[in-house]
Structure 1
């Protein structure tokens, strides 16, 4: 298959169909408004009166028809609602995700205010991140799910528009710990097809780059170390980047204050989980803790934010709970703050004389949150939510409402598909066969292995699961599964461990050999691994890894495949083919 073709023609790539029961009517095919005869009826009339044509005549007629059709498209009128109309018929074009959501011709310079580009009749909503690409993807999905819930709020629906922050690089999550917060920021639209997602969700989506330019070119805390660079190139890079941190570049510029809600402040005794976006976009969040009543109680106290309760809290604009909570006389806020520090009062946090700003909830402003990772509909642990581990239903939550519709950006998908072809030895343009994919995460998971469990997360544990899965496919799905290739992604770099993988005849996505970082950039080993894993007809992942969890959902919901996960305790309780590991988590 040629990757420039529609991906729906390939059984292993995501299709554009949506089973969502509430798909927006505004994206239905645009109805024809012309009363003139259809193209088909006019052609039938013409052919009924024609004299007999020779073969040459038929060719000339076909050629003339194609020319006429092409010219009709050139001169077709484009209506204001994004549809292209030709006499007798029309079709709907896909709108841009950001269409009509920001001021046209607004100033987006790094020294400009982001508020200059907000429209007065729109409610905006945003949040920030926690470590690791896939954790950040989950946070983005949770933000979009919160937007979805706020729009479905029966009491007072508020049409919030999400503003997605870029993905932040994090030490330990880029190519096995080489990122060290030094990679460039990555836009959501560089990973996912944001226009398609907005169409399927039924509401527009912005990115922070639509509101303001960041300090592009500044490292997020260091210099990118390229392991393939020569020593002269490394020294030149260090010299050119000397002192170019965001803190120094932004020095002397007054940061724009932004009133924001904090979930981490509420559950971490007043402490904030920081990130570099305030430096990158030059704004200063002023935090207000969310009330404990919005969290699910656990043995450790309030921890997981309840997204439906949060949706009610921010809608409608005159929400009584929110209004009362922000008053100095409110007891809940005082009890919360006293629990952090018995000597601290509410005035120490909510005092406007000390620079406190009430969080925005009005139209023409941004309602912002520090962290939406630890959040769910009913207080479930985030990994349970995305695994849909019983009793979590499969038709609820952020994966159901958002995640399954977030398909890869076409450029990224093509890179991932081309990488898969290269790894399994297929020529360019050759159709992708059915494959099993395996994700082995070890480097930062080994400390969770008990002392008695040796070897931990061994290759044999993954092969036991894969062989059991292959047998079920052969018995219940197709006998050809016995010959499906196995493609492995891993953060492990130990040569002996990698040799065990290839000794099984499995194909290893070796980014060092592929020169991935040098060809595509430091983000791409992780991005390509995500795409490759999603192309599997069956997947064996690593338990508790959010990368494995998201890949499993894509394989299950996009490809109709089976998935299992291997945990660190497998050495104590070996693989048992009688157990349904797809439900273990």
Structure 2
């Protein structure tokens, strides 16, 4: 059977726990004003350059050349970063941070989709603390350690995000030279031991890659979102924001920092570069609030995290070939589907897989509902369908074909060989987001983000299919 994107999703107990089904130093006024003026001017110049560059890229670039382009940081991003860094990447991150500016960062360790949500939480925290975020690269926790870390800006449009948020967005590769062996010490807040009692600070594959030696101080108990005794792992983003300010910070340090693993240094939480170990399980008002349309992080940050134009163009080419659309003709509107099976099998309990997962006739019923809603509300008859799934059973895919639905065959496209192991899952996420309508798998965060994107980016019709027992999606 042809490989699909979620062949690269994790099956380990660690990731199952992360992806389990769940319920739904401030700047002065003058310097801030100057900074904003410089930033707006930079955005205007960058927009002109970007339009011309994209037009040229579309004309001249072949798929085989795209990977090479993605491995080079755009010059405009580096130049733009000079406003709030001292220069190009340095051996120590401290050598590159401005003394008149405060920053914030955190680490990733939750699987790619959940890491995207974690970065959304970090950006929201940066906004409410008035600090410049430093975004970590994505780590291959779900596709295998042989894949390299992937910079945020190689998948997402950082320039567009900066403009939407009206704040700078930096990445670690712009600040510290990861190829230099110099070790940096940094004091950070440990949030994970507070919400997961007895656990150590959350580790990340990226920390040794950046040659960082971290000393953690346990965050105070009041950062937990829910009252004591409630079995939930979420911390409050606004409570975490209190730690960015002197009065709360001073009163919150109730115990000495843990020694760093390499140099055994006990360093209090840094104020210049505010650091938290783990921000996936964080929220503003309620646990799992990304599930709801009011989600503050989605509304103020997540919806502005649009795709990098280069990888989006590659996804369009794959969609065109999957639906046999000739070159030169517009890609017709389609309905995207995400049926996650893979690691969800552990939640089937006493039921067999064919009883547990959504049967394709029920998926087809959801597709028909989306088609009817698009016809009623927009007057468009959408007949094309693209399936994405981690299912490997060829009989299941044969049944998918019987409905006249399409999918991208990443094995036949030699996507991994050409672009690397990251790309099937990334391209599936883009394809899902491009649907005029979308049908997803309940409790899957990948489906959840696709639903949000289709709903808010495309004004699309969306459905989530229920599963876990026979007839779960009967309605």
- TM value normalised by structure 2: 0.80
Give the root-mean-square deviation of aligned CA atoms: 3.0
Alignment of 1:513-524 (within 5 A): 513-524=412-423
SS in 1 for 2:427: helix
- Measure, in 2, the Cα distance between the counterparts of 1:517 and 1:149: 39
Asked if residue 256 in structure 1 is aligned to residue 235 in structure 2, the reply is no
Q: Indicate if the aligned counterparts of 1:461 and 1:570 stay in contact, CA closer than 8 A.
A: no
Per-residue CA deviation, residues 511-544 of structure 1 (Å, 9 max, x unaligned), is 1122111122111101110111111011001111
Alignment of 1:399-478 (within 5 A): 399-452=298-351, 454-457=354-357, 458-478=359-379
Q: CA deviation at 1:83?
A: 8.6
- Any gaps of 5 or more consecutive residues in structure 1? 1-23, 31-77, 86-90, 152-159, 174-178, 216-249, 327-332, 334-345, 577-585
- Measure, in 1, the Cα distance between the counterparts of 2:370 and 2:431: 19
- Measure, in 1, the Cα distance between the counterparts of 2:402 and 2:434: 23
Matching residue of 2:155: 191
SS in 2 for 1:432: coil
- Measure, in 1, the Cα distance between the counterparts of 2:343 and 2:275: 32
For 2:126, which of 137, 144, 147 is the aligned residue?
Answer: 147
- Measure, in 1, the Cα distance between the counterparts of 2:145 and 2:280: 20
For 2:237, which of 291, 307, 315 is the aligned residue?
Answer: 307
Q: Indicate if the aligned counterparts of 2:347 and 2:468 stay in contact, CA closer than 8 A.
A: no
Q: Indicate if the aligned counterparts of 1:465 and 1:575 stay in contact, CA closer than 8 A.
A: no
Q: CA deviation at 1:325?
A: 2.4
For 2:106, which of 118, 122, 127 is the aligned residue?
Answer: 127
- Measure, in 1, the Cα distance between the counterparts of 2:258 and 2:426: 41
Matching residue of 1:367: 274
Task: Sort the Cα spacing of 1:561 and 1:82 in 2 relative to 1 into closer, same or farther, 3 A.
Answer: closer
- Measure, in 1, the Cα distance between the counterparts of 2:101 and 2:230: 38
Asked if residue 265 in structure 1 is aligned to residue 265 in structure 2, the reply is no
- Measure, in 1, the Cα distance between the counterparts of 2:411 and 2:135: 32
Q: CA deviation at 1:277?
A: 1.5
- Measure, in 1, the Cα distance between the counterparts of 2:279 and 2:462: 27
Q: Indicate if the aligned counterparts of 1:296 and 1:379 stay in contact, CA closer than 8 A.
A: yes
Q: CA deviation at 1:209?
A: 0.4
Task: Sort the Cα spacing of 1:273 and 1:426 in 2 relative to 1 into closer, same or farther, 3 A.
Answer: same
Q: Indicate if the aligned counterparts of 2:137 and 2:150 stay in contact, CA closer than 8 A.
A: yes
For 2:136, which of 165, 180, 184 is the aligned residue?
Answer: 165
For 1:540, which of 432, 436, 439 is the aligned residue?
Answer: 439
- Number of aligned residue pairs: give it: 410
Matching residue of 1:47: none
- Measure, in 2, the Cα distance between the counterparts of 1:255 and 1:432: 50
- TM value normalised by structure 1: 0.65
Asked if residue 205 in structure 1 is aligned to residue 169 in structure 2, the reply is yes
Matching residue of 1:285: 214
Per-residue CA deviation, residues 354-400 of structure 1 (Å, 9 max, x unaligned), is 63100011xxx31111111000101322xxx2221xxxx52x51111
Q: CA deviation at 1:476?
A: 4.2
Task: Sort the Cα spacing of 1:302 and 1:535 in 2 relative to 1 into closer, same or farther, 3 A.
Answer: closer
Asked if residue 489 in structure 1 is aligned to residue 388 in structure 2, the reply is yes
SS in 2 for 1:196: helix
More helix by share: 2
Alignment of 1:17-28 (within 5 A): none
Structure with the larger RCO, 1 or 2 (CA within 8 Å, 6+ apart): 2
For 2:145, which of 173, 181, 184 is the aligned residue?
Answer: 181
Q: CA deviation at 1:571?
A: 2.2
SS in 2 for 1:439: strand
- Measure, in 2, the Cα distance between the counterparts of 1:309 and 1:201: 21
SS in 1 for 2:416: helix
SS in 1 for 2:215: strand
Q: CA deviation at 1:464?
A: 2.0
- Measure, in 2, the Cα distance between the counterparts of 1:496 and 1:83: 51
Per-residue CA deviation, residues 405-460 of structure 1 (Å, 9 max, x unaligned), is 11110101100111111110112342121110000110111111242364322322
